[in-house]
Structure 1
């Protein structure tokens, strides 16, 4: 499916809180006003065509994602001066993908955050996350 009329990423202009910061031929870099209170400067790179996950992206969409990632970093470095970044794709419900349209999270990180130094794997490596099958 290349378009889903109920998908917020297929229709970013319909959400008044969603900002198209910039775009290229096949992707957007979006920032949502409601996400900025905790994750200052965060955004997502989203293909314009509806794909459920990153595994379905075309080579052109991967190249355009790369192009926007470089542009987003320059923009975020100038506007927010973060100390680092967390980048990530959630794929599938078990990974907490709540919008089933492929999107790359671009999250600026800051030394003064309470969870500074805790990366994408921090929560996954907690002992309580160990699968029961592996405990036997």
Structure 2
């Protein structure tokens, strides 16, 4: 199988890991919409949240833990949590993933979700993982 996220989980492709447990892996998005924008993925391969009835429940705890981590370490004031399904939605990697997008008071609202896209991931990673 040639899956980018499976390769990241296996350690074959480097990532900026922010969380990991037995069933989930989370890392900084390489094209972030906001500071701390992370992806939470199941360690087992599924293509999206609609083909597997159990996958969201399996990684739900990790989504919550990543949100709390980003809130506590980066000072996020809120979050957008979303999952794309299919090409037309914008899904680019066909391995189930949930975006956890921190939001900050100085840039509120859904229309401002794609605010900060030019970030130093090393700096953000160090803030999350001191």
Query: If the length of structure 1 is used for normalisation, what is the TM-score?
Result: 0.71
Greater relative CO (CA pairs within 8 A, separation 6+): 2
Distance 1:54 1:91 in 2: 7
Q: Secondary structure at the match of 1:105?
A: strand
Matched, 1:14 2:15: no
Query: Deviations 1:89-115 (Å, cap 9, x if unpaired)?
Result: 1000010101111100000011222xx
Contact persistence 1:42–1:107 (CA under 8 A): yes
1:117 aligned to which of 109, 113, 117: 109
Q: Runs of 5+ in structure 1 lacking a partner?
A: 121-136
Which one of 79, 89, 94 corresponds to residue 95 of structure 1? 89
* Greater radius of gyration (CA): 1
Q: How many pairs does the alignment contain?
A: 110
Residue 21 of structure 1: how far off its partner (Å): 2.0
The structure 1 segments of at least 4 consecutive aligned residues displaced by more than 4 Å after TM superposition are: none
Structure 1 stretch displaced more, 93-102 or 61-70: 61-70
> CA separation in 2, counterparts of 1:84 and 1:110?
7
How far apart are residue 58 of structure 1 and its match?
5.2
For 2:57, the equivalent position in structure 1 comes to 63
d(CA) in 1 for partners of 2:42, 2:52: 8
User: Over aligned residue pairs, what C-alpha RMSD do you find?
Assistant: 2.0
Q: TM-score, normalised by structure 2?
A: 0.74
User: Could you tell me how far apart the structure 1 residues matched to 2:6 and 2:16 are?
Assistant: 13
